[in-house]
Each structure stands twice: as structure tokens, then as C-alpha cells.
Amino acid sequence: LNEMDLDDDNWGEDDLVMEDDLEASFDEKGDLPLAAKYNRHKIVEIDDSVARQLILLLEDHFQPGRKRKAIIKDSWLQTVLTEGDVVHIEGNFHNGVVTITDAEGSIVVNPDHLVS
């Protein structure tokens, strides 16, 4: 499987948030809501140019300007995603990038609209 080279698109490494920087920003600001410590993002762009995966360009919901990427694969490709959706992502971000597959991670689209 050929994956998109994450260094070759419009977002540079400087735009991605390192986990240590994110934690430090929580300590400095102190005025963010508790939910800000969780992986809540807005989908800015969806890149489907690579076969068998989607690349989501994300912006932190509580800290606009902080950007990340999510690579969606496997059965998660069936998830209906639209630019502007709010998503909650469970997964391990490494250098601002997380991969969601059948083996690891999950994504909840529009988590404020869950119906039981």
C-alpha cells in the first residue's frame, strides 16, 4: 500500500502540533474547558487522492490554528465524513498524525449529536 508522503502536501511539519507543545498549552492557558484535553477536531479538508485511505486535515476545535492529520483506512472508510464536521478521535498521535484502522483507533463524527 502506497501512502501519501505527508511532507509533500500543503501543510508543513511546522503546522502540526507536537504532543508536548499541546500539553504545555493546556498548562499555560488554564481557561480551556475540560473537553479541550480530548481529541476534538474540525475537519478542514478531506484528501482522497490515495487509494484505500482518506487523509483528514484537522483543526483543534478549542485551539484554532493547531493542525493535525488523521489517516483513515480499512472499514473506517465507510464512515461518512464531510468538511466542517466535528470529530472525536481516539488514537495515538505521533508528530501530529494518527492512523485509524481496524486494528487501532476510532473516530466519532459529530459527537454532540449521538442518539441512544
At residue 113, φ and ψ (nearest 5 deg) are -115, 25
Span 28-85, pLDDT tens digits: 556 777 767 778 999 999 999 999 999 999 998 888 889 999 999 999 999 999 999 9
Span 30-46, pLDDT tens digits: 677 776 777 899 999 99
Please give the C-alpha separations between residue 109 and each of 18, 36, 52, in angstroms, as whole numbers: 24, 16, 20
Q: What is the DSSP string of 41-75?
A: EEEEEEE--STT-EEEEEEESSSTT-EEEEEE-GG
CA 112 to chain centroid, in Å, comes to 17
